[in-house]
Amino acid sequence: MEQVLASVGVGTLQTRDLLSSADLTRDEYEIVLARAVDLKREFRADRRHVARPLAGRTVALILEKQSLRTRVTFEAGLDQLGGHALYLGEGIGFGVRESVADIARNLERWLDGIVIRTFGHSVVSELAAEASIPVFNALTDDEHPFQALADLLTLREHFGRLDGLVMTFVGDGNNVYHSLALAGATMGMEIRLAHPEGYGPNPSIVALAESIALANGGKIVVAQDPSRLVPGSDALYADVWVSMGQEDQSHARLAAFAGYCVDTQLLELAGAGTVAMHCLPAHRGQEITAEVLDGPRSLAFEQAENRLHVQKAFLVESLGR
């Protein structure tokens, strides 16, 4: 493993935050993905790593939203590479018990990094601005950059490339879509979104993704009719229709999204080699059918595994010794 780590170079992105999928250049995405490939290969072979590049590093996990994949993969990943995760849970009270700035100024004196999963993106931005240690966005209402990294790795493993691939996101123009649009555009992909009226993406993020796509040979397409967008797609992507914090909108959302289920018919319309993706948790029978999610063309659980590997990769690049 020492040779594997040396092949890419520990700390190429030394002390870097990851707040948005727009934070990384194409070359920097390549660095993180290459690191993730090496770490995944070794972990799958031995369930352990010889080198411990995060030894002595302690990272806070501030998770204000429920989590399975985020907590387990960050805690396990830090442990596997010699570091320590300090779980702080939901009780921090940003802006209530204590200001974001004061929390940042405390944590920077004790720790080496902060992983945060919260609601408003402004909290993550302020935390990063005030803290002298790296801040890693594990999900906000605006973005989910580590999920996008895992999805890029999953697509590259399956297709052998990213440049020129076409992904159609079917459903809500939400945080996962935002990060996929930004990351996919950076890597030269065409990212399409089919969404119900009134549930489109943030126009400023779409504009940024379009400018990134223009510079990298990618493309952003946003429309409403899934049947017109999915043909020719390499991947169809589904996500929950009602996210955490939207429970009061559940009835309206279920009605609006009724025609946006990734089922066998939609997958066949996309193409014979099209794969299905989902960031999980999934509601079988709503945004995706059980037949598709559990079928041979689904990459959902590979995506979930790859959260571990891309997160470890970025932590090594940012905090590794």
Known catalytic membership, residue 278: no
Q: How far apart are CA 239 and CA 148, in angstroms?
A: 13
- The residue type found at 186 is T
Question: Given 38, 239, 286, 311, which residue is catalytic?
Answer: 239
Contact between 317 and 274 (Cβ < 8 Å): no
Q: Where are the alpha helices (DSSP H) in 50-199?
A: 69-80, 100-110, 121-130, 145-159, 175-186
Catalytic residue among 16, 71, 117, 195: 117
- Which of 35, 49, 144, 192 is the catalytic position? 144
261 is catalytic: no
The active-site residue out of 279, 303, 309, 311 is 279
Is residue 84 part of the annotated active site? The answer reads no
71 catalytically annotated: no
- What is the token pair recorded at 138? 């594990």
Which listed residue (69, 71, 121, 307) is catalytic? Answer: 307
Closest by CA to 198, choosing from 233, 237, 165, 241, is: 241
Angle (deg, nearest 10), helices 69-80 and 300-319: 50
Find the DSSP H helices in 131-249: 145-159, 175-186, 203-216, 226-229
Catalytic annotation, pick one of 35, 80, 147, 195: 147
Which distant-in-sequence residues (6+ apart) come within 8 Å of 18 by Cβ? 24, 134, 135, 136, 137, 145, 146, 314, 318
Residues classed as catalytic: 117, 144, 147, 239, 279, 307
